[in-house]
Amino acid sequence: MADVVLVAARDEEERIGATVVALREQFPDAEILVADDGSRDATAARAEEAGARVVRLPRRGKGQALTAAEREAPAGRLLLADADLTGDLRPLAAADADLAIAAFAERQGGGFGIARRTARGLIKTLSGADAREPLSGQRALSPAARRAVFPVAAGFGCEVRSTIDAARAGLRIEEVELPLAHRATGRDLRGFAHRAHQLVDALLGAGPTAVNHRGLRLPVVGWLAGLRRDVWPVALIGLADDVWSGPERGFRAHLGRGRTTGILKLVGIPAVGLVRTRSLSGTLLVALSANALNQLDTKPGRALKAYLVAASAVGAPRRPAVCLLPYDLREMGMLGDAGANALGALLGLNSVSRLTARGRWIAIGALAGLTLLGERHSLGALIERTPVLRELDAAGRA
């Protein structure tokens, strides 16, 4: 049976009390933990009145809420449940599997099955597992499964990615058909919007992800900024670093280790600069700008804000950063090395056409100094110790 029951909830004041009461009756020895994902109503209060412990969180998404609350839970078997669920989950918790997933005996509501079929296809393609209910939020996890899937992917991508992760880890997965019910979405505007959100989150969650400074696992979306013809190779190199990088940080660590994705960037990004500019100063500007922006990508929005300031000075396009900034600030996505390196390279390329020869070398000297400073000290720590920079850096961050 479950040691902890974890419920993700947002604006569920009308239902959460009954859900918690039912779960307490089914699992009297388990701790009921509610992850309140930035509710604007009395969800947290109703959950506490019903006997749950509540972890109050900023509004970010289901996966982020589950990840943050799971760290507050004691060790042991974990049962995940949706806040609007009705039905008995004891057979699910008793299943002899590392990851047991509830399959609803009767389909309720829904659209045309596009999100579900896509989720099934993603799971099958990326892990080889067959899933009848790829989007079910009712899941029982053994300690081994809990270690394999947490932190879970962001938003509604958490279910799809957790199944993929469990299958890749070689764990036993079982689907248990149960007579459950929940608030169904219909074929109306609200229902289609919800399923579109599920679909996008599933696609992002199945793709490249990374863990941010809060321990949240977010989709790496910065490569979208590198789809421009002139910097796409830099985005591709950065994406390789996002997916396969090790613990090394800084030039010295990568040079000491040898064959790392950092070495690939050290060689590949200047090569792109050389091909695009056909000059030594252009090569150095592209490489150093890419590295400088990457050094700043340690907190949400930091690198994108720096890019927007620099882009105004050198005439670089601002639309990619403007589009990505809200998601980065709200910790719904990550710029990653793919985005930071590509945008930095874009600044370098635009600097080549905007600056005089003397201006290029002045910029190269400044960027080289910033790189050396970042090797010896944390640029983020320096920003946070400087009052004006600290306020600008924190603006808009959740």
CA dist list (Å): 9 to 29, 61, 63, 74, 83: 22, 10, 11, 20, 5
DSSP 366-395: HHHHHHHHHHHS-HHHHHHHSHHHHHHHHT
Which alpha helices (DSSP H) does the chain contain, by range? 16-26, 43-49, 62-70, 90-93, 114-127, 143-149, 158-168, 189-206, 232-244, 251-257, 261-277, 280-296, 302-314, 319-329, 336-354, 357-376, 379-385, 387-394
Residue 178 sits at φ, ψ, to 5 deg, of: -135, 150
Residue at which a domain ends, from 185, 211, 237 = 211
122 shares its domain with 68 = yes
Same domain, 185 and 260: no
250 shares its domain with 281: yes
Sign of CA dihedral 396, 319, 308, 378: positive
**Per-residue CA distances from 122 to 70, 130, 205, 314 (Å):** 25, 10, 10, 41
Domain range spanning residue 378? 220-394
Instruction: Return the pLDDT at 108.
Output: 63
The reply to whether 182 and 285 lie within a common domain is no
pTM of the model: 0.84
Same domain, 278 and 199: no
Q: How far apart are CA 61 and CA 20, in angstroms?
A: 21
User: Of 194, 211, 228, which residue sits at a domain end?
Assistant: 211
Per-residue model confidence as pLDDT tens for the chain (398 residues): 678 999 999 999 999 999 999 999 999 999 999 999 999 999 999 999 999 999 999 998 999 999 999 999 999 999 999 998 889 999 999 999 999 999 987 776 566 788 889 999 999 999 999 998 899 999 999 999 999 999 999 999 999 999 999 999 999 999 999 998 877 666 667 777 778 888 999 999 999 998 988 899 999 998 888 777 789 999 999 988 888 875 555 545 544 554 567 788 889 999 999 999 999 999 999 999 999 999 999 999 999 999 999 999 999 999 989 999 999 998 989 999 999 999 999 999 999 989 999 999 999 999 999 888 888 888 888 898 999 989 999 998 87
Residues 50 and 15 grouped into a single domain: yes
Query: Do residues 142 and 258 share a domain?
Result: no
Whether residue 340 is found in the same domain as residue 239: yes
Residue that is last in its domain, among 188, 211, 234 = 211
- Do residues 277 and 316 share a domain? yes
Question: Residue 194: which CATH number?
Answer: 3.90.550.10
235 shares its domain with 155 = no
SS3 247: coil
pLDDT of residue 254: 46
Structural domains counted in the chain: 2
Does one domain contain both 180 and 254?
Answer: no
In this structure, are 375 and 277 located in the same domain?
Answer: yes
